[in-house]
Amino acid sequence: MKKTLLAALFAVAGLGTVQAETTSLGLATDYSATTPSVESVLGYPIGSRISSPDAMYDYFQALHHAHPEQVQLFHYGKTWEGRPLYYVAISSPANIADLGDFKAGMQALANPQNTSSEQAKRLISELPASIWLSYGVHGNEISSPEAAMLTAWHLLAAEDQATEAMLDNTVVFIDPIQNPDGRSRFVSRYYMNTGMEHSADRISVEHNEPWPSGRSNHYLFDLNRDWIALTQPEVAGQVNALLETYPLIFVDLHEMGGDQTYYFTPEARPYNPLIAKSQREALWTIGENNGRWFDEHGFDYFTREIFDAFYPGYGASWPLYHGTLAMTYEMASARGHKFRTRDGDILTYGDGVQRHFIASLSTIETASKERQRLLQDFWNYRNQGIQQGKDSKERYVFIDSAQDPAASKRLAGLLTQHGVQVQQSNSQFEACGTDFSAGSYVIDTAQPAHYMVRTLLDEQVDMAPDFLAEQERLRSNNLPDQIYDVTAWSLPLMFNLEQQRCARLPRMDLAAVSGDLIAPGQLLHPDAKIGFVSAWGDMNAGRLLTAALREGLSVKQSDLPFTFKDGKEYPAGSLIFTRADNGDDLSATLATLAATSGATIQGVDSSWIVEGPNFGSDNVQQVHAPRIALAWDEPFSSLNAGHTRYLIERQFGYPVTAIRADQLRRADLSRYQVLILPTSYGSLNDAFGEQGQKNLTQWVERGGVLITFANATQWAVDADLLASALEKEAKDKEVEVHTEKRVAGLLLNSAEHLHQYVNAADTDPYWTSGVLTKLDVDQEHWLTAGVPDNVISLTVGNQIYRPLTINNGRNLMTYASADELSVSGYLWAENKQQLAHKPYLMWQPRGRGMVISFTQEPTYRAYLDGLNVTLMNAIFGGASHARPLR
Ligand SMILES: [Zn+2]
């Protein structure tokens, strides 16, 4: 029995033309009935229902069981909600039988240090091509995962020579669903809201997702921005799988607004300058072949206008820096079964499935046709990386582990997870004229992952000068700029770590670094008579504090530095555990916590302090385990709420209670010591109203610690909780603009004069997409305990605040001077001038409590590790310095 593609698809509204299209493309019309179709496994024709992640998993299991000789299924992790993360390899029986050899062959090509050019030549002539198709990273971009099932079915069921030849020549990796938790959220709520008929109306409940949308994962991350910090299992697991297989092509298949058409490569400007010319050329080849297929079907498409390839933290960017061709495809979204476009057409779910299916096939065809060229380019790319490093005067990168043991360890482990070779010295050494402590990290940029190293570590990646000139031109004409995302992402800067680079490597013993992000710490002198101390200032100590609080230990924190008789100095914020306040098992508990947190804990036999406060001083605070509330739901930013919850729960190791804005308006919050308001999209004045403002003010006055980020700080100002003010753009007011409807005559004597007049209106400062900025730190406060005198922050948007005056509070972190504050990325000159010395972190006591306001999001994408100690001070230090009536 044969089935046709038509028979499989025809039941779906909007797919009636498929038969003609597949025939005209020369696609197979005969399909094997032994390959399970979506309908036979799931009970409905492909494209007629938005499949749940569970159903999709069943389908790929069924394909594997029906064709084990052609389909292998690999797990690479589990989501936060426990769903499997997996990919399948589909190819000819011979290629699948040799999959181990294939992976070994790609590893050999990826590592030219261990591979001769003779071996490489043989591999390039013999290895199959490979392509990795990733679907559904944004859970509410629904059609691509369905297309993953159709693509897999077609490859296995089609009984024509072209498909067979393609599989003889190509290994196809399919990651059908990168974000199962997000899709699950979308699908369950979508069907919950449907009625007797599906609605195509964009204002219908079917087409309006409640907060948070299905786009993000469980912790509400946009997974398509997480490929730098790899904080989420969906991304970290996929990166690991990609480093095992090194596919030649990677495609990330998305959806965009329903009124658009279809987008594929080549990408928009600005290009990241670390992308190779050969890659850009091959991306054109892929785009051109897609264009040919789309032309044959009469499908509209566009290229080059949006979706740039500058920020490397997209799924469709990261693989580029390992030598893979990576790109994004975008289909107009029906965001449900059907959608009425502005032109009045009905776009169906099936339309999306069909276009993603065609784009998948056409790209597999390019991989197959260009097999040898792509293998050769990949080998050349990896070699070129090694050569670039060798030729560089900055060949070696050194990072001193002593400046921040936790952050430097995390960086080294993270780089290893990115497929970068990192080494660690077990002794002190001197390099680039600087002394480095034992345990410092060395990265030789003469390695095949050279461009990945550069992308993640370089402190500045420039956009092309003509592109920037164009942005300035647009801006001066009051038109929006074309910068799509942050223009700065250097990991050492974001971790507040200095790096040194120079041409030579001194002689020393080096050991390879693992992907572990925490090095076990230790308890020194466990039999100490008086107690134990641990130096504050990094996340090793931070994790020790939260773990100790959760264990119920009694812990104190000093507001000031202190020095023991033996000369050992401890910075402000250092943790103190006395035997007198704790049980007999203190040493054993601390030994365990040292191992898991990474902290070094020192036993002390005397509490005699020669400088700084004694343990019984008023300057030493008992830390009570605070109950932390986090504002949730509309109008808060789901991203910022999610990033913050993730950071505190999974990196700090401390639970958070999420509370909806509506509850915060009136609920009794006295059980909570800390409340964090993330940034918001909509107005907090509207959400909280007068009642909410009163409720939160009273809670602060009774001892609550209110922490606000970005737009929530604006609300704190409006609510009279923070005596700052939000600024308009600073400008010369020589020209007076009209405010009345009948005014005196005015002579505009030049085009420039007209320009000045038009721009003299009160406006907000110009928007920035995101740059790394330097802050000056006032270190004489518990809120900055253990924080260095400068830290790096990320500045996005256009909010600039006035400093607090001394009668109201303190400005504990302020932007550096105009010529120093922008450390990476591209920031407009006017913003530099106006941001200089303005506050980033403000503290204002109120009654028995206080308000701690960040003018930006310190938890942005959970990758600004250099701000973590400050945030811990705000939460835990804030709670121990508030004076509620207990
Ligand atoms: Zn997307």
Centroid of ligand 1 to alpha carbon of 647 (angstroms): 23
Centroid of ligand 1 to alpha carbon of 485 (angstroms): 14
Average pLDDT over residues 501-516: 96
| Residue 459 burial (10 A CB sphere; 0-12, 13-18, 19+) | middle
For residues 781 and 572, give the distance between their C-alpha atoms in angstroms, rounded to a whole number: 9
Centroid of ligand 1 to alpha carbon of 209 (angstroms): 15
Centroid of ligand 1 to alpha carbon of 530 (angstroms): 57
Average pLDDT over residues 231-258: 97
Centroid of ligand 1 to alpha carbon of 17 (angstroms): 27
Over the stretch 278-296, which tens digit does the pLDDT of each residue have? 999 999 999 999 999 999 9
Average pLDDT over residues 461-475: 90
CA 180 distance to own-chain centroid = 17
Flag whether pLDDT at 509 surpasses 60.
yes
Centroid of ligand 1 to alpha carbon of 473 (angstroms): 30
Task: Determine the pLDDT at residue 256.
Answer: 95
Percentage of the chain exceeding pLDDT 90: 89
Task: Determine the pLDDT at residue 25.
Answer: 41
Centroid of ligand 1 to alpha carbon of 225 (angstroms): 11
More confident residue, 452 or 11: 452
Centroid of ligand 1 to alpha carbon of 13 (angstroms): 24
Centroid of ligand 1 to alpha carbon of 636 (angstroms): 21
Task: Determine the pLDDT at residue 266.
Answer: 86
Average pLDDT over residues 520-537: 97
Q: Give the residue from 246, 745, 257, 625 showing the smallest Cα distance to 448.
A: 246
For residues 768 and 183, give the distance between their C-alpha atoms in angstroms, rounded to a whole number: 31
CB 652 within 8 A of CB 667: no
For residues 848 and 850, give the distance between their C-alpha atoms in angstroms, rounded to a whole number: 7
Centroid of ligand 1 to alpha carbon of 644 (angstroms): 22
Centroid of ligand 1 to alpha carbon of 234 (angstroms): 15
Tell me the three state secondary structure of residue 326.
strand
Centroid of ligand 1 to alpha carbon of 706 (angstroms): 34
Average pLDDT over residues 153-171: 94
Residue 296: its H or E element: helix 277-297
Own/partner long-range contacts of 561-564 (Cβ < 8 Å, ≥24 apart) = 561/611, 561/612, 562/609, 562/611, 562/612, 562/613, 562/614, 563/609, 563/610, 563/611, 563/612, 564/604, 564/606, 564/608, 564/609, 564/610
Centroid of ligand 1 to alpha carbon of 238 (angstroms): 17
Centroid of ligand 1 to alpha carbon of 536 (angstroms): 41
Over the stretch 469-499, which tens digit does the pLDDT of each residue have? 999 999 888 888 888 899 999 999 999 999 9
Centroid of ligand 1 to alpha carbon of 216 (angstroms): 10
Paired residues of 853 in beta bridges: 708, 842
Quick one: pLDDT band at residue 26, thresholds 50, 70, 90?
very low
* Helices of type H across 764-867: 829-835
Centroid of ligand 1 to alpha carbon of 74 (angstroms): 24
CB 592 within 8 A of CB 524: no
Residues 6+ apart with CB under 8 A from 779: 572, 787, 789
Average pLDDT over residues 163-171: 96
What are the structure tokens assigned to 735, written together?
């020209």
Centroid of ligand 1 to alpha carbon of 215 (angstroms): 8
Flag whether pLDDT at 734 surpasses 80.
no
Average pLDDT over residues 350-362: 95
Unique residue bearing structure tokens 């190779």: 276
CB 334 within 8 A of CB 359: no
User: Strand 600-604 to strand 522-524: parallel, antiparallel, or no bridges (unpaired)?
Assistant: parallel
Lowest mean pLDDT among 14-23, 563-572, 797-806: 14-23
Centroid of ligand 1 to alpha carbon of 136 (angstroms): 8
Handedness of CA 240, 241, 244, 248 (dihedral sign): negative
Centroid of ligand 1 to alpha carbon of 360 (angstroms): 16
Centroid of ligand 1 to alpha carbon of 55 (angstroms): 22
Centroid of ligand 1 to alpha carbon of 143 (angstroms): 11
Centroid of ligand 1 to alpha carbon of 27 (angstroms): 28
Task: Determine the pLDDT at residue 391.
Answer: 97
- The CA-based angle 859-864-868, given to 5 degrees, is 70
Flag whether pLDDT at 307 surpasses 90.
no
Task: Determine the pLDDT at residue 535.
Answer: 98
Over the stretch 592-636, which tens digit does the pLDDT of each residue have? 999 999 999 999 999 999 999 999 999 999 999 999 999 999 999
Unique residue bearing structure tokens 């697991």: 237
Average pLDDT over residues 803-831: 97
For residues 333 and 215, give the distance between their C-alpha atoms in angstroms, rounded to a whole number: 13
CB 728 within 8 A of CB 762: yes
Task: Determine the pLDDT at residue 6.
Answer: 37
Centroid of ligand 1 to alpha carbon of 252 (angstroms): 9
User: Strand 346-348 to strand 84-90: parallel, antiparallel, or no bridges (unpaired)?
Assistant: unpaired
Q: What is the pTM of this model?
A: 0.95
Task: Determine the pLDDT at residue 20.
Answer: 37
Task: Determine the pLDDT at residue 29.
Answer: 66
Centroid of ligand 1 to alpha carbon of 5 (angstroms): 28
CB 561 within 8 A of CB 570: yes
Task: Write the CA distances from 706 to 159, 190, 653, 777, integer angstroms.
Answer: 65, 36, 20, 21
Own/partner long-range contacts of 388-393 (Cβ < 8 Å, ≥24 apart) = 388/445, 388/446, 388/450, 388/451, 389/444, 389/445, 389/446, 389/447, 389/450, 389/453, 390/446, 392/445, 392/446, 392/503, 393/502, 393/503
Q: Give the residue from 260, 267, 263, 224 showing the smallest Cα distance to 333.
A: 260
Centroid of ligand 1 to alpha carbon of 182 (angstroms): 12
Whether a cis peptide bond, with omega within 30° of 0, leads into 212 is yes
Centroid of ligand 1 to alpha carbon of 462 (angstroms): 25
CA 773 distance to own-chain centroid = 18
Centroid of ligand 1 to alpha carbon of 808 (angstroms): 45
Centroid of ligand 1 to alpha carbon of 139 (angstroms): 8
Centroid of ligand 1 to alpha carbon of 254 (angstroms): 4
Centroid of ligand 1 to alpha carbon of 141 (angstroms): 6
For residues 57 and 584, give the distance between their C-alpha atoms in angstroms, rounded to a whole number: 51
Centroid of ligand 1 to alpha carbon of 19 (angstroms): 29
- The CA-based angle 241-246-250, given to 5 degrees, is 85
Centroid of ligand 1 to alpha carbon of 135 (angstroms): 10
User: Strand 129-135 to strand 522-524: parallel, antiparallel, or no bridges (unpaired)?
Assistant: unpaired
Centroid of ligand 1 to alpha carbon of 200 (angstroms): 21
Handedness of CA 443, 445, 447, 451 (dihedral sign): positive
Centroid of ligand 1 to alpha carbon of 138 (angstroms): 5
DSSP state of 877: I
Centroid of ligand 1 to alpha carbon of 263 (angstroms): 12
Whether a cis peptide bond, with omega within 30° of 0, leads into 233 is no
Centroid of ligand 1 to alpha carbon of 305 (angstroms): 16
Task: Determine the pLDDT at residue 11.
Answer: 37
Flag whether pLDDT at 14 surpasses 70.
no
Handedness of CA 633, 539, 792, 805 (dihedral sign): positive
Task: Determine the pLDDT at residue 272.
Answer: 84
DSSP state of 875: I
Centroid of ligand 1 to alpha carbon of 850 (angstroms): 40
Centroid of ligand 1 to alpha carbon of 331 (angstroms): 9
Centroid of ligand 1 to alpha carbon of 833 (angstroms): 36
Task: Determine the pLDDT at residue 615.
Answer: 95
For residues 796 and 72, give the distance between their C-alpha atoms in angstroms, rounded to a whole number: 44
Centroid of ligand 1 to alpha carbon of 426 (angstroms): 44
Centroid of ligand 1 to alpha carbon of 600 (angstroms): 43
Task: Determine the pLDDT at residue 305.
Answer: 79
Centroid of ligand 1 to alpha carbon of 257 (angstroms): 10
DSSP state of 411: H
For residues 149 and 143, give the distance between their C-alpha atoms in angstroms, rounded to a whole number: 10
Centroid of ligand 1 to alpha carbon of 68 (angstroms): 32
More confident residue, 484 or 61: 61
Centroid of ligand 1 to alpha carbon of 242 (angstroms): 20
Residues 6+ apart with CB under 8 A from 870: 783, 784, 787, 791, 813, 841, 858
Centroid of ligand 1 to alpha carbon of 255 (angstroms): 5
Paired residues of 302 in beta bridges: 263
Centroid of ligand 1 to alpha carbon of 142 (angstroms): 10
Centroid of ligand 1 to alpha carbon of 165 (angstroms): 32
Average pLDDT over residues 518-533: 97
- The CA-based angle 167-173-178, given to 5 degrees, is 155
Task: Determine the pLDDT at residue 739.
Answer: 87
Residue type, 658: A
